Structure 1
């Protein structure tokens, strides 16, 4: 099973007022942390989707072994960024499944990504998503049979729409820390104390 990882890092962090991709956490940027976690997992290819100010964000990454895609339509919403990453992986490795993750969930680790892959294999389900704050969301792994549906999402629709529409073919992993993302200065203060 070929597994690709799409890391979404295209936003402008408008609520924060500065690029959250470059916020330092545990001696590296949030984006570098996400990349390192993905590269260490049992996956075949990792792509980072950039949008707003891609050269600035790319400067916050210290690895040559990562692919980047720039989504020129990033302002249209998350759907177009996810689709840019998915199309890239389809051309590069034609994956059997993809993991979708964000760059601003600091508690996502390699073990969690490997657990998604393993649970999908064990359960035979087409989707395995993380559960937090009474919902299912990313990181999540999607079987190839959902790629078409993902490519048909519009605007600000995200992977959650695909997950919730296909609950009978979805399994979950408890990940309460997934609720922590960093969108505002208050989030940062709460996170960093």
Structure 2
């Protein structure tokens, strides 16, 4: 079973509000991320929440996981999310809540790489690594050791480049993130896979 994990606990200081609560096309980013993972074939889907958790909308098809230590950064959210997944989950596809233009096709591609034997599959766009990232359960203890402060799996991926299978996802959405009001304003009305 390949689960989905949305990291959505941050305060979104540059946006002035938690990113999970920001709406694009009338839909909160956190719901878009859940929909992305479910459309990509992931189950169960867990969402790590923190800042603004009490204001979050209902998350049909997802399990909210409260990270009380969210102020410690992305690494704490990744560790919390991995620890929340049931024992029957053999791998997880990780996405960030602030990437509304990702496409379910990218999720399916990293899952296909796992099915073909990859223990770590990373979506790439124009040759650059991005999200989603698939991590087989066997890697989680090492990932957790590297996930410190505002660093999620990045240091693990660099240290264990021998495990990483890049998965070309050009044409399957965009990994562009929303960090500022200008980023939000720059989003076009319709993005692939997210209508």
Matches of 2:110 and 2:175 in 1, distance apart? Answer: 17
TM-score, length basis structure 1:
0.87
Give the aligned partner of residue 147 of structure 1.
140
Matches of 1:70 and 1:168 in 2, distance apart? Answer: 33
Matches of 2:69 and 2:19 in 1, distance apart? Answer: 19
* Offset, 1:62: 4.7
Matches of 1:165 and 1:62 in 2, distance apart? Answer: 35
Matches of 1:82 and 1:187 in 2, distance apart? Answer: 24
**Cα RMSD after superposing both structures:** 1.9
Q: Could you say what secondary structure the match of 2:107 adopts? A: helix
- The aligned runs of 1:133-172 (5 Å cut-off) are 135-152=128-145, 153-172=147-166
Runs (4+) of structure 1 moved beyond 4 Å?
none
Q: Could you say what secondary structure the match of 1:13 adopts? A: coil
Query: CA deviation digits over 1:49-87, x for unaligned, max 9?
Result: 00112111x22x452x32111111111111110111111
Q: What stretches of structure 1 of length at least 5 have no aligned partner?
A: none
The worse-fitting range, judged by mean Cα deviation, of 131-140 and 150-159 is 131-140
Q: 1:115 aligns with which of 104, 109, 120?
A: 109
The worse-fitting range, judged by mean Cα deviation, of 21-30 and 138-147 is 21-30
Which structure has greater helix proportion? 1
Give the aligned partner of residue 25 of structure 1.
24
Matches of 1:12 and 1:163 in 2, distance apart? Answer: 25
Aligned length: 186
Q: What stretches of structure 2 of length at least 5 have no aligned partner?
A: 190-195
Q: Does 1:75 align with 2:68?
A: no
Report if the CA contact (8 A) 1:130-1:174 is conserved. yes
